[in-house]
Structure formats: C-alpha cells, structure tokens
Amino acid sequence: MTTPTTRRSLREAAPSPAVRPGTGSTPVRARLRPGRILGDILLWLAAIAGAVCILLVVLAFTAQVTLIMFRTGSMAPTIPAGAVAVVQRVPASEIEVGDVVTVDRDGELPVTHRVTTIAPGAAADERIITMRGDANAADDPFPYPVTSVRTVLFAVPGIALIVAGMGNPVVLGSLTVAATTLVVWAFWPRRSGRSGVDVDGNGP
C-alpha cells in the first residue's frame, strides 16, 4: 500500500537550508569576509556623517547654529588656527565679559575674539563691545557696535581643511559617487557558490 504524499511529509523529506548536502548535519554558516566587514563599517560611518549634516541643517534653521573656521591663531591656544567652531547667534543683551564671540563686519571677514568690555549703545538692543584675541597683547583697534553676535559654543581643532574641502564641487561629486557605490555594493544580493545559500543564511 502506498503512503499518500502530504505537505508535511514533503517538508520532512526536504533537506534543511542550514545543512550542507552530503556532509551530514554540519550547518552552513555565512562567513564574514574582511571586505564585507570594511564595507559595513564605511556604510555606518557614511550614515553617521549624513545624520550629523542633517542635524546641522536643522540647527541652522531652528536655533541659528552654524560653523566658522579659524584661519589665524589670534585666539590661540584656546582656539588654534585650523579649528572649526560651532557658534550660535544671540542678542547683544546676552553678551558677558569673557565670552568668545564672532562679530560680522560689512565688507570684511568676521572677527572672533574674547569680549573685554561692554557698554550701552544708541538703541536699547545695541551694545558697544571691545574685544581681544587670546594671543594678542592689546584690544582690537576699534570697538564694535552690535545688536547680535555669534557666541562660540565649542571648537574642534585641526578640521578646517576637511570642512573647507567639503564645499569643493569635485569633492562633493566624488563623495556622492563613492557613497552611492558603497550603498549599492552593501545591499547587492550575494550567494555562496558552494551551497547556494545567501550570505545572511536564508535560502534562495
């Protein structure tokens, strides 16, 4: 008498996808190759960098937080040349002596120094401040009338060239191509040539 074929019997008779045919019960394990590990690390770094960029854009619009680069060493050793500082725009009424602030100047580059004195201005929201770089022996030649300034929250030394390079169209294009290639490579389906099993251990 022939035993009827059922779905259960077919499932029991089918070889497990986790068992290599012809080798007993040895499970098939996906081997992590160095290239795969490196790709995962680079993918995570790219994701973190992208998240940081998105965060900076959001902060720039919502909290007026931006970045400035230091080309000179007038604030050394507190903030050396080549550093990048995170700054936030605040009303002049919130300035205190000892703060490191950035003052925007018409037709000139902004100046970032430490506040040494504060005096009332012509309007209620205006202040007249004098400043001095930590590496300088005297105050700046002229006081600054301001209604708002950008106060330095913190600075990271030695990354000004990297940040400046990010604005280069060639660099941006290269990074875009590299990131696209990395994402495609990381998510491209891979199969083991010997067992026909996906790298993540799932069957085809």
Domains identified in the chain, total number: 1
Each residue's pLDDT tens digit, 190-201: 655 544 333 344
Higher pLDDT among residues 72 and 41, named by residue: 72
d(CA 115, CA 119): 11
**Chain CA centroid to CA 74, Å:** 27
Query: In 3-state terms, what secondary structure has residue 31?
Result: coil
Asked if the structure places residue 20 within a domain, the reply is no
Q: Is the pLDDT of residue 74 over 70?
A: yes
CATH of residue 96: 2.10.109.10
Query: Would you state the structure tokens that stand for residue 120, as one six-digit string?
Result: 């009332």
Cβ-in-10-Å burial (0-12, 13-18, 19+) of 115 comes to buried
d(CA 63, CA 86): 12
Confidence of residue 161 (pLDDT cuts 50, 70, 90): confident
Within 10 angstroms of residue 74's Cβ, the number of other Cβ atoms is: 17
The residue count of the chain comes to 204
Asked if the structure places residue 193 within a domain, the reply is no
Asked if the structure places residue 45 within a domain, the reply is no
Asked if the structure places residue 93 within a domain, the reply is yes
The boundaries of the domain holding residue 116 are 63-158
